[in-house]
Amino acid sequence: MSAAAQDHPAIIGSHMKNIVILISGGGSNMAAIVKTAQREAWAQRMGAKVAAVISNKADAKGLVVAKEQGVATAVLDHEAFASREAFDAALAGLIDRYDQPDAPVLVVLAGFMRILTPGFVDRYAGRLVNIHPSLLPAFTGMHTHQRALDAGCKFVGVTVHQVTRVLDEGQILAQAVVPVLPTDTADILAARVLTQEHLLYPRVIANLLQKI
């Protein structure tokens, strides 16, 4: 049996711009995008919709959220594959079910905790985006909020960027700035930054959809 478990295999019509969102956990940014797409009628206004949410973890809570919103879901367990390359090839196979010559799929990373291989990144060059909880190029990688506090930063923020072979160094598409308060801990700061993530990411996705 395949490592992929499909819940809703149907594919959208031939002229729809399909968004595929990759998650590993709670998927709050994914939920923000899905709900914005529905509230702002992206399908009617831009011919675009979230076609699928894919997770590398079967217990990702975001899958439940996606199902509740009527979005197709799939699970692809990375531990079932012998290499990153094998996993990424299978993942691309799932994504490409939603890809179309006249309206190529937009692949959105929303808390997808995997380092993607160069082949995967190249396959979706210009159509693969990520959100990072810092004002890039500052604080690439993990533990961004604690590192910012340790460095004495007065401002932090969030960045939406194109994904390239180099981690967190793709073209910056948009940023939002969040002030650091004297009473902030890493967790408090992360929560305040997250509210900006939920506003920024859907707006950037909408802008990208108008260009593809």
Distance CA 73, CA 200 (A): 24
Among the options 132, 145, 161, 198, which is catalytic? Answer: 132
CA atoms 187, 188, 193, 194: torsion sign: positive
Q: Which whole-number Å values give the CA distances from 98 to 3, 30, 103, 134, 178, in the listed order?
A: 19, 17, 10, 31, 36
Task: Give me the residue label for tokens 């959220």.
Answer: 65
Local structure of residue 7 (DSSP, 8 states): S
3-class state of residue 88 by DSSP = helix
The position carrying tokens 């690439």 is 140
Separation CA 146–CA 133 (nearest Å) = 11
Active site residue 78: no
Residue 159, both tokens: 């960045």
Q: What is the largest CA-CA distance in the chain?
A: 54
Decide if 116 contacts 14 (C-beta within 8 A). Answer: no
Task: Give the residue numbers annotated as catalytic, written as ranges.
Answer: 132
